[in-house]
Structure 1
């Protein structure tokens, strides 16, 4: 991805963002991260070119990914602090996508997050893998990129002039070939404006295999980000999914700073290290693998002797479900959410409320 960000050619990030994002997307109107005279696509490219080589690498296990997804559903609005980040500049890969519904026709759900300093506080970039099999738009785009530019533009303008609808079960042409032709012409018309402002990227999807899914400028003064992620016509359902993704990312950062998570620093395989070193010896090939520690029987901030201590005498033990607790930190004179994992509470020698659950099947 660093190589792609630095590539000045038509398949590099600069041309990719000029083609797909452009200088001034409608969604960027009024966004404080981009003043009116900014070239948005160029600004994002310059940011990635600086941040990707400097990013600390993280890999989040499936167990920790699931916990972050679950805990995010009960995380209240929270003022993000710079010290909440596991690294000032980072690149984090989830073992599986943490939130469904963050995909569109050109990429799978978000599974990679990169971040670093930006205007207003923090810029978070979301990435998804290109689906397999690849969508028709990718194949059409690659074919167009192989044509002379003027000829490709003329074909796209002809398709746009027809103003054909997207093939659906209600307006589907009679034959399969006609359906394919109508779909291809619709794709041609869709990307006409993109092709008029920049050459068509030969790979159409980034050659490293990850699709850029959007930018979320997160201010350190509020939770609100940029739910539309530079996409036009975003539905309410998609916006809700993006907000859930933002909360899941924030939850992941908070969990990485707690003792319930264990971190192991490891190096990439030798073949991968040699490949990276040949490209740029300055790039760090170490990765922090993060996973959950073994479950505790008591919360991390309480000793076994403290359970059930006090003036009240308990006659049962019970299960406390995972939840957030707002803990005050005098060092920054503010509260920070701390996740309290599932644990047993009450005297160990007393019966568990409800006992063990047994399912009985009767005829």
Structure 2
């Protein structure tokens, strides 16, 4: 039986800089080094340096500290998180990601609801609630690429049980759990060369030399990447969402700058307050007339832009009802996906 985790209680957007600051500090500590080295020793993780566990842990943590410190912070509200998860499966070319598709070159994005989950060996459900991304000094590539790290809610209850089993008192276990761990735990990672569509699944024991032309990922992180890609699209300018800025208090901004962290405002991604004038769409994208009403799930459309409308970019389209207002309603298992913009003649 799958054990349900405690409800994810995300920080507010105003509290996100402090969480990032704590994570960036944590990855420089010896408990973090021991945790990552132990994971490498047991063959866990997707990207494992060709070095001893101790050396590899140092390389990974130093690289991640650089990304966390320079990250633009994003906070994705619960309603947008749900839309992201609903729309992500419609990304047919989910691996064709270019630098211009990112809302920031280096970022840390927190979701107010889990963006993914999986079941651990002991039956406990683990929630993925954040992602960081940016360049890496661990992979050499002529074209460049992106390192993506996935963060889960730290299972403090399990950590305290281990401490108690080792002889610690309840008070000692509580103190150790929170002093030696951050609110979030580095769970897994992947490497994404720009524009690559070829995937290499995670290696066996001992690590491997990463092919800089191939996506290096695990089966689980591939589906997570699809959701993250959707989150990036929703975070770029579009008609469905709005992005507001949560400025850091002066004292926190000064502290962040002194610590070498990026201190720009948190970008909060939420539902646009602009009223929609097309809640029900009468026709079909192909130009056909429909005689029933049916729901269309959120999806992404390739929108023409640029000189002569020769370029294409993915934009999110909200879920909506299609068909005449007075027509009967039909609900089916089929997911209706539209991934090309209608031509002027078909509207």
Could you say if the C-alpha distance between residues 353 and 75 of structure 1 is closer, same or farther in structure 2, counting changes exceeding 3 Å? same
Structure 2: segments with no counterpart, 5+ residues: 1-22, 169-175, 207-217, 332-347
Q: Shift of the alpha carbon at 1:74?
A: 2.2
| 1:76 lines up with 2:53 in the alignment | no
Q: Determine the structure 2 residue equivalent to 1:100.
A: 117
| Match of residue 56, structure 2, among 40, 44, 49 | 40
Compare the two structures and name the one with the higher strand fraction: 2
> 2:58, 2:149 → 1: CA distance?
15
Q: Which residue number corresponds to residue 129 of structure 2?
A: 111
1:219 aligns with 2:193: yes
255 and 140 in structure 1: CA distance in 2 versus 1, 3 angstrom threshold: same
CA separation of 1:124 and 1:307: change in aligned 2, threshold 3 A: same
Is 1:261 the counterpart of 2:241? The answer is yes
Change (3 A) 1:203 1:135: closer
Are 2:280 and 1:280 equivalent residues in the alignment? Answer: no
- The answer to whether residue 155 in structure 2 is matched with residue 131 in structure 1 is yes
Where do residues 304-343 of structure 1 align in structure 2 (5 Å cutoff)? 321=296, 322-330=298-306, 335-343=312-320
* Distance in 2, Cα, partners of 1:142 & 1:224: 45
Distance 2:166 2:192 in 1: 34
The answer as to whether partners of 1:298 and 1:345 remain within 8 angstroms in 2 is no
After TM superposition, the structure 1 stretch with the greater mean CA deviation from structure 2, 130-139 or 79-88, is 130-139
Deviations 1:35-72 (A, max 9, x none): 68995323211211211111011111001000111111
The two structures have a TM-score, normalised by structure 2, of 0.63
Q: Which moved more, 1:58-67 or 1:242-251?
A: 242-251
SS at match of 2:57: helix
SS at match of 1:296: coil
- What are the superposed Cα offsets for residues 182-211 of structure 1, whole Å, 9 maximum, x if unpaired? xxxxxxxxxxxxxxxxxxxx7599522211
Equivalent residue, structure 2, for 1:21: 40
Q: 1:293 aligns with which of 266, 272, 281?
A: 272
Q: Provide closer, same or farther for how the CA distance between residues 342 and 328 of structure 1 changes in structure 2, counting only shifts above 3 A.
A: same
How far apart, CA to CA, are the structure 1 residues paired with 2:179 and 2:39? 10
Q: Aligned-pair distance for 1:123?
A: 0.5
Residue aligned with 1:87, SS: coil
What CA distance in whole angstroms lies between the structure 1 residues aligned with 2:221 and 2:73?
A: 23
- CA–CA separation in structure 2 for the residues paired with 1:117 and 1:141: 40
Equivalent residue pairs, number: 278
Q: Which runs of 5+ in 1 are unaligned?
A: 145-201, 233-238, 358-363
- Indicate conservation of the 8 Å contact 2:151/2:185, yes or no: yes
Alignment check: 8 A CA contact 2:188 2:221 kept: no
What is the aligned partner in structure 2 of residue 178 from structure 1? none
Alpha-carbon contact 1:323-1:339 (below 8 Å) kept? yes
Separation in 1, partners of 2:188, 2:267: 24
Contact 1:58-1:287 within 8 A present in 2 as well: yes
The CA distance in 2 between the partners of 1:324 and 1:126, in whole Å, is: 23
Distance 2:264 2:178 in 1: 28
Superposition deviation, residue 215 in structure 1: 1.1
Match of 1:6 among 8, 28, 32: 28
**Bigger-Rg structure (1/2):** 1
Shift of 1:345: 5.9
